[in-house]
Structure formats: C-alpha cells, structure tokens
C-alpha cells in the first residue's frame, strides 16, 4: 500500500519505507524466525556477509549486511579502538564466535557471530536412530541508533 502511494498511519520520521522493506526481507528468511519446528540444514539459506568500506577521507563509511539486506553507516576514527576490533575479529578463528562493536558517535553497530549446529540427517538403523549435524555461522547485525534500520539476522 505504501509503495503505491497510499496514506499510512505513521509519520515519516517514525518509520521510513526502506525500513519496512528491510523488515519484510528479514521476515522472508524463515530459518531465522523463532519456532517450535525443528530446523533442518536444508531449510537454511546460505548468505554472504558484506562489510565493504567506502572511499572517503577517513574511510569511515561502510556498507554492511547479509545477502540482499544491507545498509550504509559510519565508523568514527576518534572513538574506535582498531586494536580491540582486530582482537574481536580474531575470536572467530579461535573461538568460532565473537561480538564486534563498531562505534559511531558513541553508538555501536554490534555484529554477533555464533557457531550453530543444525540437524542435517536422521538415519534409522537396526540398533537405533543416528543424527548428523551441520555447522553454520549465525550472524546478527544490530545497527547503531543513527541508521534507523532493523536488526538483520541470517
């Protein structure tokens, strides 16, 4: 309705069309929705994680997202500890999970990486049932307060 130019109940500052479209894209990722349904590895849509620095004077602007869900924001050099960010990134290799905080004017974009095991196969044999799992990386991007975008997960 909104894209067709119909009147909506929200003020433009409260919510923008691009934000609602991002929420719709996120809702289409069924493997990220909470459910009592047992998720199988075949239900998971593999997506690429995007972190693309933009060319500007201090290389502070970047594009971040998963698959077709992304947005642009900033990382301020004056309140960022690049050594700490490097250590947070290294945790992916050593611990298979991490939380990365990218500050912008005292409001962080928070990126959570966590290893998840999802059921891949159920095999019935003579002596019982066997289960095989597949490992995935669950990524959650919580935007800083200035971009007004929803949380992206996949």
pLDDT band at 11 (very low <50, low <70, confident <90, very high): low
pLDDT band at 4 (very low <50, low <70, confident <90, very high): confident
What is the distance, to the nearest Å, from the Cα of residue 73 to the centroid of all Cα atoms in its chain?
14
Percent of the chain with pLDDT over 70: 95
What's the per-residue H, E or C state across the chain?
Answer: CCCCCCCCCCCCCCCCHHHHHHHHHHHCCHHHCCCCCCCEHHHCCCCCEEEEECCCCCCCEEEEEECCEEEEEECCHHHCCHHHHHHHHHHHHHHCEEEEEEEECCEEEEEEEEEEEEEEEEEEECCEEEEEEEEEEEEEEECCCCCCCCCEEC
pLDDT band at 137 (very low <50, low <70, confident <90, very high): very high
What is the rounded CA–CA span in Å between residue 23 and residue 131? Answer: 34
Is residue 101 predicted with pLDDT exceeding 70?
Answer: yes
What is the rounded CA–CA span in Å between residue 145 and residue 154? Answer: 21
Is residue 14 predicted with pLDDT exceeding 80?
Answer: no
Look at the pTM and tell me if it is higher than 0.85. no
Is residue 131 predicted with pLDDT exceeding 90?
Answer: yes
Q: Are 66 and 154 in contact (CB under 8 A)?
A: yes
- When mean pLDDT is compared across 32-41, 60-69, 83-92, 115-124, the lowest value belongs to 32-41
Q: Are 64 and 50 in contact (CB under 8 A)?
A: yes
């Amino acid at each position: 309705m909104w894209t067709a130019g119909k009147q909506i109940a929200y003020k433009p500052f409260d919510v923008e069309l691009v934000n609602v479209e991002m929420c719709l894209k996120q809702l289409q990722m069924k493997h990220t929705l909470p459910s009592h349904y047992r998720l199988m590895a075949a239900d998971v849509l593999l997506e690429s994680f995007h972190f693309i620095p933009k060319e500007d004077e201090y290389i502070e602007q970047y594009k971040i997202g998963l698959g077709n869900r992304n947005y642009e924001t900033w990382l301020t050099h004056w309140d960022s500890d690049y050594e700490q960010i490097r250590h947070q990134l290294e945790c992916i290799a050593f611990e298979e999970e991490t939380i990365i905080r990218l500050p912008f004017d005292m409001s962080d974009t928070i990126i959570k990486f966590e290893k998840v095991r999802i059921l891949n196969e159920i095999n019935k044999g003579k002596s019982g049932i066997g289960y095989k799992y597949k490992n995935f990386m669950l990524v959650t991007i919580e935007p800083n307060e200035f971009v007004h975008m929803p949380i992206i997960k996949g």
